[in-house]
């Protein structure tokens, strides 16, 4: 009796030695292996970030809800309490620090956006020397904040400072710029704007060079003026980049610490005391109140998160309107 074997599977169109099985399964296995390899390489950096960033934040939140007693040999935490938050809410300097930090953030970010937009528009139109101008522009931003604060402290010096000499030209006698509330706040804002405007300008410049040029050519053909083109084309298309710059600057401004710590120490009085300065003073200078100090830090982080969420919702709604 003859035995007939089953016909081999059809392999028409495939090179010799290549099976006709689908490659989807093998691709999934390769992607999972690649993902595990990526997590393996990233694990040391992620663990380090968790140790130096996530753990201190979580530990600070825990301290803010505990009774903290300090001893010469260390500290002891016990119980659960909301008294730390009750203390700072009824503490006048905390309410002032919130108002000062919010007002400082709004003013400096708005001024930096206006100046940064002007600088970005000039740099975008440069055909030669843009790289050199960008390098010079980034010099203030590249300086360590403590160094730039020392520089401005010298400029504000009532005896030899150039800024004090300039104020004297307008009739002021022996001006002490950092010795009065209003002038100290303005001086602090000027120093911060000088340092961080280049950062905003570079972000906006990156967005400007990515805008499609055919839209501008169409506007020019239609006879649109430069102001109309800027407000009706440039600003709407640049909205995501502007939002990114605002987000970065708000996060930085709410953590304001090193500049006022060097220039004014939070003074005169509490005039330039930000939330970060107040938290540091509560924990390490004034009676070492670790519980209330941690509550100040936690409340600051909560305000930043709420602000970012509100900003995200507004930005998302605007993007949805543009798409629709």
Residue 8 has a pLDDT of: 52
Residue 1 has a pLDDT of: 46
To the nearest whole number, what is the mean pLDDT of the chain?
83
Instruction: Please state the rounded mean pLDDT for residues 63-84.
Output: 81
Q: Are 124 and 264 in contact (CB under 8 A)?
A: no
Please, where are the H alpha helices in the chain? 24-49, 55-64, 83-89, 92-125, 130-137, 139-142, 145-155, 162-168, 181-209, 213-221, 226-229, 235-237, 239-254, 258-263, 275-284, 290-323
d(CA 293, CA 281): 8
Of 178, 204, 203, 176, the residue nearest 189 (C-alpha): 178
Instruction: Please state the rounded mean pLDDT for residues 203-219.
Output: 87
Instruction: Please state the rounded mean pLDDT for residues 112-117.
Output: 94
Largest CA distance in the chain: 123
Question: What φ, ψ does residue 69 adopt, rounded to 5°?
Answer: -115, 130
Question: What φ, ψ does residue 209 adopt, rounded to 5°?
Answer: -70, -15
d(CA 259, CA 183): 15
Of 94, 92, 50, 85, the residue nearest 298 (C-alpha): 85
Which residue is listed with tokens 């993007």?
319
pLDDT band at 313 (very low <50, low <70, confident <90, very high): confident
Q: Are 241 and 319 in contact (CB under 8 A)?
A: no
Concatenated DSSP letters of 8-38: PPP-TTS-TT---S-SHHHHHHHHHHHHHHH
Concatenated DSSP letters of 102-130: HHHHHHHHHHHHHHHHHHHHHHHH-SSSH
Question: What φ, ψ does residue 267 adopt, rounded to 5°?
Answer: -95, -170
Residue 174 has a pLDDT of: 66
Q: How far is CA 257 from the centre of its chain?
A: 14
Q: Taking the CA atoms of the chain, what radius of gyration do you get in angstroms?
A: 29
Angle of helix 92-125 versus helix 290-323 axis, rounded to 10 = 40
Q: Which two tokens stand for residue 208?
A: 């400007």
In this prediction the pTM is: 0.79
DSSP 80: -
Tens digits of per-residue pLDDT, 52-71?
888 888 888 888 898 887 77
Task: Locate CATH 1.10.3720.10 in the chain.
Answer: 91-323
CATH of 91-323, one of 1.25.40.340, 3.30.70.920, 3.40.50.1970, 1.10.3720.10: 1.10.3720.10
Tens digits of per-residue pLDDT, 138-159?
888 888 889 999 999 999 888 8
Tens digits of per-residue pLDDT, 254-307?
888 999 999 988 888 889 999 999 988 888 876 667 888 889 988 888 888 888
Residue 188 has a pLDDT of: 93
Of 277, 232, 226, 245, the residue nearest 121 (C-alpha): 226
Residue 185 has a pLDDT of: 93
pLDDT band at 319 (very low <50, low <70, confident <90, very high): low
């Amino acid at each position: 009796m003859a035995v007939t074997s089953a016909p081999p599977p059809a392999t028409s169109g495939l090179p010799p030695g290549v099976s006709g099985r689908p490659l989807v399964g093998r691709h999934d296995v390769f992607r999972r292996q690649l993902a595990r390899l990526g997590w393996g390489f990233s694990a040391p950096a992620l663990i380090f970030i968790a140790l130096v960033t996530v753990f201190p934040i979580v530990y600070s939140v825990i301290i803010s809800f505990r009774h903290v007693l300090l001893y010469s040999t260390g500290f002891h935490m016990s119980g659960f309490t909301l008294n730390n938050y009750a203390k700072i809410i009824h503490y006048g300097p905390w309410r002032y620090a919130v108002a000062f930090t919010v007002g400082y953030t709004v003013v400096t970010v708005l001024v930096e956006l206006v100046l940064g937009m002007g600088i970005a528009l000039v740099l975008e139109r440069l055909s030669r020397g843009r790289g050199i101008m960008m390098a010079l522009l980034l010099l203030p931003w590249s300086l360590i904040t403590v160094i730039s604060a020392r520089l401005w402290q010298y400029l504000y010096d009532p005896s030899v400072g150039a800024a004090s000499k300039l104020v004297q030209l307008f009739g002021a006698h022996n001006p002490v710029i950092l010795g009065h509330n209003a002038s100290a706040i303005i001086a602090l804002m000027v120093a911060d704007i000088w340092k961080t405007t280049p950062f905003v300008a570079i972000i906006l410049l990156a967005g400007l060079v990515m805008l499609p040029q055919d839209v501008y050519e169409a506007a020019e053909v239609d006879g649109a003026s430069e102001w109309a083109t800027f407000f009706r084309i440039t600003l709407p298309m640049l909205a995501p980049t502007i939002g990114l710059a605002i987000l970065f600057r708000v996060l930085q401004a709410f953590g304001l610490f090193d500049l006022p710590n060097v220039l004014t120490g939070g003074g005169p009085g509490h005039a330039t005391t930000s939330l970060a300065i107040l938290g540091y003073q509560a924990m390490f200078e004034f009676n070492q109140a670790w519980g209330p100090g941690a509550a100040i830090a936690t409340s600051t982080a909560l305000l930043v998160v709420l602000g970012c969420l509100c900003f995200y919702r507004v930005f998302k709604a605007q993007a949805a309107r543009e798409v629709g």
